[in-house]
Structure 1
């Protein structure tokens, strides 16, 4: 241990006190030993440090910070160096605001397009997500503070996220849901990891010994700090045994006492606690070093805004350019239509909300674009209400223009933390507007703003489609620079766009509604499914157009790398993201048709040729063998593919690779769906063959009393009349708020009340309600009203007496 001398001077109570927060965002301090408290702040795409009255839900405004494009946006850049640059600027701002740990990046897989937090995650591919995240981490930590990669692991839905049990086979867990974390931790060298809320195969992630000890600590040799997601601790002692150092937020000392009692009773060895204290001290002391010497307490707002614009420009994706309608020539008469042109949708919602230092406006930026903007009309109500008058005014304006710039997308309350989307559509009133405008002017360029994939049955009505995703505070100007050709678009999709939601692999198994969610599609998510099962898609993974063209040639495969050339055969300079895919020619073990194993972005002037080299690494040919319980290589010939997207393969070659002679892990006859990749509707018995065990019952037992890990939603069938009344009251409040247009508040009820497990009442109230008081509430819920009320009041008095005596 690095800090044995300090730890030996600590009392058991002091050690335990370090294991949970001092308040909502700070760790505990021990003044007599020179141990300072450190500050943790949200920050996947901008620092969210709240000045006062801190809360987790984003209700209170934070200190101004640069709002960079979200991870889902930056992923489209396919540029790890750009990710590192963002990290450097995020780190600089974190230091200026005296933040020790920046809670990001988030790297959960986009298993399903409806996950409400997809805007905060990079990709449907673990290699791509891991490499982008490693760049962010290196940049953030170059300033001496810590990044915190999250949410570990298999946290792929927002509904019931604090209690859902993710049922996934071991190979899929390793290859799809853990590989991005492995890359981020090993290559990015992150100092902190955040455990997720959910259970994984029957155990909460921060108590899961297989995940936290065997994989994270033993295999990956991670020696940093694990912090719970806020309110994500279930059994504090079990979490500590698994190696979870820090529980956030504060529990006002309640769980510290549990740790002290566990050590005294012998339930936990004090050396285990000492190890956790040692790792936390290392995080505290190493991140405090930057604040012990003079440091910049301000940052250059203009410079950071300029970088945010550069990042947005390289991340914008051109999806359609019929008749070369883009770029727009100077002097073109444009009608600007759509509410998002006036009030930009530029960032996500929930714990990632940033208070921007400045915010570019599309309407203001149009004046400097060289285009002749003949007017603006909102065209539609932002939150879906039909408005005939707005539609007609927009059509009247569109008639007078050469080109219509139509700004549409998803609103802030449709994509939000804590909630999953209900469908893949954009609001019907926006589609009606598009169809009406197309009847009076066929030269429509759609500017799309949303953080995740949407269906586009309307795409034939537009000639141009520019996807800005959620492009940050400088996104408006960046998009206009792409529209006018000042910037040649080079973004490529980091997720597949299917024609309709029913085409997606997890369609029948998302989200888990009650006890568990079954990942029956196994490793076949995203392009791995579509390409293997031959399902046509609207836009494939890795797709993006340019104002120039690129020719690939001269592939040469070596034992440790592949080289090839790219030529810019067009008239303007541009960037191209070349992608390496690998396919195993053996069918002994089921695999996706192809898998991304490398990528490289290159800048080329018109007519220029460059030779590109992409190295093979330890992940290029490996698979996880469930019989040997380790990574193996199948001896076979592998097809090496270089593509402009997952379906646009430009060059191929082959390489024979020696294997590790591991036994074949599967019986092909009992896994027919997995060997064909047609996993959209796998039967439970076949999934159990893959799992190697029976799947747990996925529905609630409505006959049992409700307990700590049951949710408020389950009060629907509670024995206590008061609980049932509360359930109906919550439902009424949600419906009423939605009806009167308070959708954000309605969503907050669903996220922070409806799907909250009862233990969350104690874990998220900072000691206002403790677990003994919660026992009283549960008695009331389960039909023992007077007994429960007496218990609750008695425990509250007891808590107040203790608090008074310690002050």
Structure 2
């Protein structure tokens, strides 16, 4: 039976009342108990009181999601929870099976692809605050998220948990998330560090990537989370790099994370990501979790004692074969984590499933949806004049909060697209008719959580299609709601997608509906790009993502125009899979190793350089209104090596609806002596405007904005010469440019 996590507060409460360990009220607090003293002084005092055995016990799991504290000193244990989209339901002490609690249903927030698609750091802050409050309410000390691995290929099954293909966008979006989670007294654990870009052979594949790509593409979001966000924890990745597993990797953890970036938090292993005691000791790992999945059945009384950083480490220390100074560094980091979280007397109260959290989930989902195409004003629908709306597709009714791997959640209720659309349409007198159209995955369970939905179907594929087409001919408008789901082999941890196209013969259904009714909008529920061979025959396409508890309400807000879409793609949709660099150059998923032959030419960088037209470009997203971007001007056209310049640009809402536009700044190096992309994102601003309103957006440009990583010097370099600043509404929609020189 699972322990009650509130019990961990009792030692702290004893100390706060001056009664710890049976002490009298007139006995002064020990230094580590005194929250008024400097943090590092408290850490050193606690460390000095601990035995060797107590130190080692803090470095490894004692259950599925907790590690031991020091009961003798009243130092509480550490409790982790999976994120990054919601607080995972409780599992049994030693097993993945559900604990059977009735009060652990959470708010499911949109997947991080949706958050990134808002291009709005304020939404990231709202997300972090809300999920942090839920973690705090559940007495969790570490939230295992957010994820910031780069979108290298559309086939990665775990892309939906990350923030897209661009390091600058991911960097700007991760910082507010981390900061707001930690204001709740909960550590954000940024993952998966690093180069976790595929699920195929994820436990063993050795990634080969050049240093320029590592530093320019794959590390910046982690660096921003640590240096700007102040992250208290980082999770190692499953894969290898330079022949070492990333959970105990000398170059990543010691040299870069703790060395170059000065990280003072804890490195936490992914569950099952540790493989060697001596490497774990030497190469930067601080806390080991999940090495075996069932502590009761591994042949010993307490399997946790056999973890690599448990008795094997203790034996080396007792024999003098391991350095105590290295041990103390690990323990200091764990103590620092505990004082920041479990023993933080200033952390606020949390809340779970509050109206505010549901409203936040709905707002983020609505702002993140991306209107990819909208010919002839197909969207928004006017519910008052649309008397009969046909909704087709399994994803209109299938719950998406269950499944997908460790981000699977248990929610009190998930508003499906059909539910949300019906609620909004019925109020306006519009009849909503539903046809399934296709059968995908009728199951709905993961790790003991079941949706309770009966999605069984007796009709044949041909009959389902015929029924949908017949209904489409009688409807005023048709919404096809399909895409991917969180089943294995789609958007799911543990396995990559098998194909770029839509599964379950959805293309056939879409084409038949387009022939039956010209007023068709396709709504994609996914965390990945998909092929669209029918795109020229469909007037409107909306990317709705995995949108969480309020998915249906958020979709209805956009479809019926209550919310004007303002999301922008955080990654490129290629026309064909071969248009993606990782596939064009033949190294995905590799074998025992995978080489990133495309180097830093990921996503739009590859499309720009090779002049490959995307299906939908990075940064693309339409609105129900129109915007004009122009009148670029520089404060100076010459930038000193230690100076800065300001670029100003005007943006005007030229339509008849209030809306928001994301003004995007890209910079290209016109005289580089090393290979560089045509342009790279270096700034963005989301601007809300009333019809006819104009605002001026300012971007600061410094030499750091122009630099590349010089792998021959191991340093960032900005070459003097001519540069071009491009401003637009997408990577392929540049509205103006201006040149300047770096002296």
Contact 2:519/2:539 (<8 A) preserved: yes
Query: Helix, strand or coil: the match of 2:342?
Result: helix
Residue of structure 1 in register with 2:214 after alignment? 173
Alignment correspondent of 1:472: 548
Q: State the shift of 1:128 in Å.
A: 0.6
Tell me the distance in 2 between the aligned counterparts of 1:76 and 1:367: 26
Q: Distance in 1 between matches of 2:413 and 2:318?
A: 54
Do the aligned residues in 2 keep the contact of 1:403 with 1:443 (CA within 8 Å)? yes
**How far apart in 1 are the matches of 2:211 and 2:230?**
25
Provide the residue aligned with 2:602 in structure 1: 525
Q: Quick one: distance in 1 between partners of 2:721 and 2:145?
A: 39
- Deviation, 1:10, is 1.9
SS of 1:473's equivalent in the other structure is: helix
Greater shift after overlay, 244-253 or 46-55?
A: 46-55
Task: Choose from 358, 362, 365 the match for 2:417.
Answer: 362
Deviates more, 1:472-481 or 1:113-122: 472-481
Query: Deviation at 1:21?
Result: 1.0
Q: Check if 1:72 corresponds to 2:113.
A: yes
Matched, 1:349 2:426: no
Q: Distance in 2 between matches of 1:9 and 1:338?
A: 62
Give yes or no for the alignment of 1:42 onto 2:100.
no
**Equivalent residue number for residue 447 of structure 2:** none
Query: What TM-score, normalized to structure 1?
Result: 0.79
Any idea what the Cα deviations from partners look like across 1:2-44, whole Å, max 9, x if unmatched? 4222222222222111111111100112111222101100111
Once residues 561 and 253 of structure 1 are traced to their aligned partners in structure 2, the CA distance between those partners, rounded to angstroms, is 58
1:635 aligns with 2:635: no
Q: Does residue 536 in structure 1 map to residue 577 in structure 2? A: no
Q: Secondary structure at the match of 1:273?
A: helix
Alignment of 1:542-581 (within 5 A): 542-558=619-635, 559-581=644-666
| Alignment pair present for 1:387 and 2:461 | yes
Distance 1:585 1:347, change over 3 A: farther
Does residue 110 (structure 1) correspond to residue 151 (structure 2)? The answer is yes
Partner residue of 2:436? 378
Q: Distance in 1 between matches of 2:723 and 2:66?
A: 51
Q: Could you give the per-residue CA deviations for residues 265-320 of structure 1, whole angstroms, max 9, x where no partner exists?
A: 44432011101101110101210134x57953643522211111111110000011
The 3 A distance-change label for structure 1 pair 282 and 424 is: same
Query: Partners of 2:380 and 2:176 in 1: how far apart?
Result: 32
Pick aligned residue for 2:690 from 596, 605, 611: 605
Partner residue of 2:669?
584
Q: Which residue of 2 aligns with 1:99?
A: 140
Q: Which one of 268, 273, 276 corresponds to residue 232 of structure 1?
A: 273
**Structure 1: gaps of 5 or more residues:** 659-807
Q: How is 1:126-205 mapped onto 2 (pairs within 5 angstroms)? A: 126-205=167-246
Cα 1:538–1:641 shift into 2, 3 Å: same
The correspondence for 1:515, drawn from 581, 586, 592, is 592
Whole-Å separation in 1 of the counterparts to 2:661 and 2:646: 19
Report the counterpart of residue 704 of structure 1 in structure 2: none
Tell me the distance in 1 between the aligned counterparts of 2:95 and 2:684. 40
Distance change >3 Å, CA 569–CA 56, structure 1 → 2: farther
Which shifted more, 203-212 or 94-103?
A: 203-212
Q: Aligned pair 1:426/2:502, yes or no? A: yes
Give CA deviations for 1:737-788 in whole Å, capped at 9, x if unaligned.
Answer: xxxxxxxxxxxxxxxxxxxxxxxxxxxxxxxxxxxxxxxxxxxxxxxxxxxx
Partner secondary structure for residue 90 of structure 1: helix
Whether 2:335 is the aligned partner of 1:281: answer yes
What is the CA distance between 1:636 and its match in structure 2?
Answer: 1.6
Contact kept in structure 1, 2:419 and 2:552, CA below 8 Å: no
Residues 178, 401 of structure 1: alpha-carbon distance in 2 compared, 3 angstrom cutoff = same
- Partners in 1 of 2:83 and 2:248 — Cα distance? 25
The answer to whether residue 372 in structure 2 is matched with residue 316 in structure 1 is no
The equivalent position to 1:334 in structure 2, one of 389, 393, 408, is: 389
Distance change in 2, residues 1:55/1:553 (3 Å): farther
What is the CA–CA distance in structure 2 between the aligned matches of 1:53 and 1:36, rounded to whole Å? Answer: 17
Select between 566-575 and 616-625 the one with higher mean Cα deviation: 616-625
- Give the distance between the partners of 1:422 and 1:60, measured in 2 at CA: 35
Which has the larger helix fraction? 1
Rounded to whole Å, the distance in 1 between the matches of 2:138 and 2:400 is 26
C-alpha contact (below 8 Å) 1:100/1:146 kept by paired residues: yes
Question: Closer, same or farther in 2 for the Cα pair 1:54/1:351, shift >3 Å?
Answer: farther
CA contact (8 A) 1:493 1:542 kept: yes
Contact kept, 8 Å, 1:557 with 1:654, in 2: the verdict is: no
Q: 1:8 to 1:609 in 2, by over 3 A?
A: same
> Any gaps of 5 or more consecutive residues in structure 2?
1-39, 292-302, 443-456, 636-643
Q: Is 2:739 the partner of 1:654?
A: yes
Residues of 1 paired with 2:129 and 2:602: CA distance?
32
Q: How does 1:208-247 map to 2 (within 5 A)?
A: 208-247=249-288
What does residue 476 of structure 2 align with? 402
Q: Give the one of 567, 578, 587 matched to 1:491.
A: 567
Q: Please give the alpha-carbon distance, in whole angstroms, between the structure 1 residues aligned to 2:441 and 2:99.
A: 20
Q: 2-side partners of 1:600 and 1:57: how far apart?
A: 45
Q: CA deviation at 1:109?
A: 0.4
- Indicate if the aligned counterparts of 1:53 and 1:60 stay in contact, CA closer than 8 A: no
Whether the 8 Å CA contact 1:57–1:350 is kept in 2: the answer is: no
CA contact (8 A) 1:348 1:470 kept: no
Q: Is 1:253 aligned to 2:305, yes or no?
A: yes
What pairs with 1:659-678 in structure 2 (closer than 5 Å)? Answer: none
